[in-house]
A and B are shown apart, each in its own frame.
Chain A
Amino acid sequence: MRFTPSPEQRQFAASLHDLLSGADTPGAVRAWAEGRPEPGLKLWRDLADLGVTALRVPEECDGLGAGLTDLVIAFEVLGYHAVPGPLAESVAVAPALLGDGERLRALAAGRLLATVALPPHVPYALDADVAGLVLLVENGAVYRGEPETEPVRSVDAARRLFRVAGTGGALGATDGSAFEAGVLAVAAELLGAGQRLLDEAAAYARQRHQYGRPIGSYQALKHLLADVVTRLELARPLVHGAAVTATARDVSAAKAAAGEAAYLAARAALQVHGAIGYTAEHHLGLWLTRVRALTGAWGGGAYHRARVLAGA
């Protein structure tokens, strides 16, 4: 047993992190929210160059044929940087829904962005206005989705949600594995977002002074953040473990725990920042609202806990 990311996976995560740290990701998120996807799409092209969009595409269609562990390693970094767009949909789910080699090649190369609705747990298609391919999965059948023209507003302004109706005959069928991959990707994204919120809060607590002392010297804040560390550190092995076993029970445990840990991180990070964290100008809000949205998306806590109990 070797239950830790491989050196190659660490290297992959580090290069993603370097790429995204150098880009103005918060700026891209804000532009995306305003309906100006170009900076975000530029990020996607860079991510495609590093192989992110090809991860789950089979090798015979120019993909990497990577496993779920590579997927979660990547998604933790994507969440850490709040990358906008239909990430789980296009990178984790669509490759498992499509049989068509041409589309798979386009996905792998990053020429095609896909999105998908999988009611009831994923009722809206994220970023259907930007995606070149909109899918709808109903009762195990995959359809072309016809999105409405106006988005439904999300608490996370960068998540542009669209109602979709199915059109035409079924393109194919799917077992549950596409959904599981999406849940797992989102769990990893939440983990990354939670880690970012923690890092932001710790950095602020070291630097901000009140009453003549760094606020990070107060135990009330230390202990709040220590609890966040603990939750995140114990959620990460669940995400990695679910990527290894791919059982529904482990995937649900990962989503429930990562969601809870990230949410705790969000609450704590806002509290540590005080009013500055509540402003639209400060970038903290990008992660605060992302975490709130993803906590309920792809099955909320109650749904995933029920699956844990059904499988335990």
Chain B
Amino acid sequence: MDLDLDAATLDFRGEVRGWLAEHVPRPGLPSMDTAEGFAAHREWEATLARARLSVVTWPREYTGREASLVQWLVFEEEYYAAGAPGRVSQNGIFMLAPTLFAHGTAEQRDRILPAMARGEQVWAQAWSEPEAGSDIAALRSRAERTDGGWLLSGQKTWSSRAAFADRAFGLFRSDPSSSRHHGLTYFMIDLRADGVTVRPIPQLDGEPGFAEIFLDEVFVPDADVIGEPGNGWRVAMTTANNERGLSLRSPGRFLAAADRLVDLWRQRGEPEWAAERVADAWIGARAYQLYTYGTATRLAEGGQLGPESSVNKLYWSHLDLGLHETALDLLGADGELAGPWTDGYLFALAGPIYGGTDQIQRNTIAERLLGLPREAR
């Protein structure tokens, strides 16, 4: 059991650190949930890609470096420590791409991945529907067969960054006689296609961070179906564990935030009442870092991400929230002033909801890891 980084990883860390020190925009970019900020973040993705740093774990042919998971974790640590911009491409990179690697065709990968890696095409996740939130298998949007493809109709909602994104991926009911997780198909959709209407939804901070997507007989060619028609649920589940289990929030983000919190606590004169909470934030970030090194080791040895990814998601969402609440409490009366800590706080508030709510994660842990009796579903 060790925590040693090999020479290649140490070199890589050095390269990343040096590059970020030179390239991270100061001051930071405007919010990616505005048209201007979205464009700036898209440009940043292109800048990252030119240094082959946008998708380090991918194969070289798709502008990656075939970095190991540990190297990716190191990249993320450096990335957040440097205060680099949020990743506008994250849903494509961390959810769609793994799905394409697992279930896509070579043609799909060649066509989609390079443009994604360079930020030329930004992807939105279109899973949730008005009547299908936690219970995603209740989805109603449908796909009807037509010449050379499918006609998609229905409504998706809460789709992050869809207000400005180029394309979206989601599940549609392709077998009208099916129910629940049967008869679903995984599609990639052009958000500029005829029949698509995107209606931005302002979030708590007032910016349109997510959107509704209305589809009215939108044509999608067969080439944009991932996996077999009717097999969409299984295809989608690959990404669900990826999202919860590793990629959605890497430890680097919380390590950087915990360090900033310790600094803030010092600046405020090390108040005794906050010591426990500040220490717990640091301990929590360190725990999550080490836990993730363990996960990376397991995956490198051929393991799979299973229900334990719910442990991960439940943990970091609370770590993030607690950390930001503590910062705002430390700031006292100034805690209400809009700034990086309130931004981070509003962001953290959604953590226990998206990617599977706290309650759903707890059900999964209890049923799948502890073997407690399943809920009626």
Contacts and interface: CB of A to CB of B under 8 A. Distances in A.
A243 to B, nearest CB: 7
Interface stretch (A36-44, A102-110, A232-240, A275-283): A232-240
Interface residues of B, number: 50
B4 to A, nearest CB: 6
Given A1-B2, A1-B297, A230-B311, A241 B286 contact: yes
B1 A230 contact: no
Given A216-B372, A222-B363, A229 B311 contact: yes
Contact of A234 (B9, B70, B288): B288
Contact of A237 (B262, B265, B294, B370): B294
Contact of B359 (A223, A238, A241): A223
Given A4-B301, A205-B372, A206-B373, 8 more contacts: A202-B371, A225-B366, A236-B291, A238-B290, A253-B287, A301-B276, A302-B276, A312-B259
Given A3-B297, A206-B373, A217-B372, A230 B315 contact: yes
A288 interface: no
From DSSP, what is the main secondary structure of chain A's interface residues? Answer: helix
Query: A-B pairs with the 6 shortest C-beta distances?
Result: A222-B366, A305-B279, A237-B290, A226-B362, A216-B372, A226-B365
Contact of B370 (A3, A229, A253): A229
Interface of B: 1-6, 9, 70, 258-259, 262, 265, 270, 275-276, 278-280, 282-284, 286-288, 290-291, 293-294, 296-298, 301, 308, 311, 314-315, 359, 361-363, 365-367, 369-375
Interface residues of A, number: 47
Given A69-B1, A230-B311, A240-B1, A253 B372 contact: no
Nearest to B73: A1
A265 to B, nearest CB: 12
A129 interface: no
From DSSP, what is the main secondary structure of chain B's interface residues? Answer: helix
Nearest to B270: A309
Contacts of B291: 233-234, 236-237
A214 interface: yes
Interface of A: 1-6, 9, 69, 198, 202, 205-206, 213-214, 216-217, 219, 221-223, 225-227, 229-230, 233-238, 240-241, 243-245, 250, 253, 256-257, 301-302, 305-306, 308-309, 312
Given A202-B372, A206-B373, A5 B1 contact: yes
Contact of B5 (A1, A198, A214, A238): A1
A219 B363 contact: yes
Contacts of B288: 234
B147 to A, nearest CB: 48
B294 A3 contact: yes
20 contacts: A2-B297, A3-B2, A3-B294, A4-B301, A5-B1, A6-B1, A206-B371, A226-B370, A233-B311, A234-B315, A237-B287, A238-B286, A238-B287, A238-B290, A244-B1, A305-B276, A305-B280, A309-B265, A309-B270, A312-B258
